[in-house]
A and B are shown apart, each in its own frame.
Chain A
Amino acid sequence: MHLIPIPYLDPGSGSLILQVLIATLLGIGLAVRASWKRIKGYFGRKKSTQEEEDADQQRN
């Protein structure tokens, strides 16, 4: 087995790789949540426009 002496073992690479992995997953999570909000917002708006139209019709 080839051993590398401890003073030469920099933990930086692992930290960097892990950070990119976690951040990417979290980033996807954020993006999905944001688009879900947009979708909900879109249907929410549509629904409320529909309700307004119904109300208008009732008034007429």
Chain B
Amino acid sequence: MQTSNGIDRLPASFRDPAGFLFLKNGVLYRQINRAYHQQYTRLLDSGLYRELVGAGLLVRHEESDQPPLEAEVAFKVIRPDRVPFVSYPYEWSFGQLKDAALVTLAIQKQAMKFGMILKDASAYNFQFSQGKPVLIDTLSFDLYEEGKPWDAYRQFCQHFLAPLALMAYRDVRLGQLSRVYLDGIPLDLTAELLPLLTRGNLGLLTHIHIHAAAQKRYAGKPVKRALRITSTALKGLVENLEKVISDLTWQPLGTEWGDYYDCTNYSDHSLENKKALVRKWTDNVRPDLVFDLGANTGMFSRESATSGALIISMDLDPAAVEQNYQAVKRKKEFNILPLLLDLTNPTPQLGWNLSERDSFHHRGPADLTLALALVHHLAISNNIPLPYFAEFLAGQCRWLIVEFVPKTDSQVQKLLASRKDIFSSYSQEGFESAFAGFFETIQAERPGDSDRTLYFMKRR
């Protein structure tokens, strides 16, 4: 919602009566309403805030003297640290969603020790920062009253357990259902899609199958008396969910790109040259934000990352993204964020009024984009004309490192083997003239013994 004085109320937080986010002169603020006064005070005074921020589980903030946007209901204005790049659960790999689920439960356990409880368990309350999921909604906590059930239990099952179980037991691609069901995958649908054998898994039997059946059985029937659970029982529930989530695994085997780097068309020497070019040109640009499109498991993201920039390392293969994420965790490469993205159908605007969740295009452009060994997949496998590809990239970046892979290349030959060659303009000249409309070529080099060419370009 744009107001006349350069203030934007952000559309991602409008549902919460406790407060909302707004931008003023490019700075992000959160107004906390009087309705949330007690909870906020407890969060700070109990030491829970310090504990969670210290453990890197909750976003840090400072109290600000910025005037509130809606003064009549305001209690305070805070200025939270901004996450470097916003991403969504349908763009995360299995491991990323699993880690966010486990952090949710860790926060819940910690909160209970301080007399508080998570009032919601939305996967959208998490963002990746420093390689880890961090809770970005400071207003997620409520006062815990002994005996009160956990209001967010159903949301936790829908946002985390359901997609993880579907990915682990049915097909990893079902994670994309989160993009359709923004408030989590309905449990009856999950129960229907899961294989029968998951009924033999006690955790999934109760939290998914019986849960779905109970929802159906009691649908539309109000609960007449107040139901209570002791804090020990609640702790038991949270620990049980922790175990059920931990036990869900998915291994990226037999994948599209699994062993891709072993069969590229570069010798070791040329590969080193290509890496050196990527490093050199990245350093020339000195970017803050880099998009690596079609990053596979992130080999060249890692070269670009030596510049210190934040690299968003994107691929459409869930296995490649998972391997990339596991490597990021293992090597503590905090400036690489692997994400799942299909360039032929990138993340659109979603949610209420199509403005709750941002499209991929809204989150760019980057200072620099890498599009290596990508052009033939789009032009030949997906019939994207070269000028369209150039125009798309021009919308994504100021600087570009792009690779042209000619028809003579054996990888292109493989793609052409199963389709008629209708791509008469797919040539080095065709490529150069298509890009000349949008970019100025600064440098072009062949990294070695193959006939692929790397271009360093600047948007016109």
Contact = CB atoms under 8 A, between A and B. Distances in A.
Interface in B277-328: none
Given A11-B215, A30-B236, A20 B229 contact: yes
Contact of B223 (A4, A13, A27): A13
Contact of B219 (A4, A18, A26, A29): A4
Interface in B212-238: 213-223, 227-230, 232-237
Given A15-B215, A17-B214, A23 B223 contact: no
A30 B411 CA distance: 58
The secondary-structure label for the interface of chain A is helix
Nearest to B223: A13
Interface in B151-200: 153-154, 157, 186-187
Nearest to A20: B227
A27 B222 contact: no
B221 A19 contact: no
Contacts of B154: 11-12, 15, 19
Contact of A20 (B149, B219, B222): B149
Interface in A7-38: 8-20, 22-24, 26-31
The secondary-structure label for the interface of chain B is helix
B273 to A, nearest CB: 58
A22 B240 contact: yes
B378 interface: no
A13 B211 CA distance: 11
Given A11-B154, A18-B210, A23 B220 contact: no
B206 interface: yes
B149 A23 contact: yes
Contact of B233 (A10, A11, A18, A27): A27
Given A16-B223, A19-B149, A19-B150, 10 more contacts: A9-B220, A10-B219, A11-B154, A13-B221, A13-B222, A18-B210, A18-B214, A22-B206, A27-B232, A27-B233
24 contacts: A8-B220, A9-B220, A11-B187, A13-B215, A13-B220, A13-B223, A14-B213, A14-B216, A14-B219, A15-B153, A15-B157, A15-B215, A18-B210, A18-B215, A19-B229, A22-B206, A26-B236, A26-B237, A27-B232, A27-B236, A27-B237, A30-B232, A30-B233, A30-B236
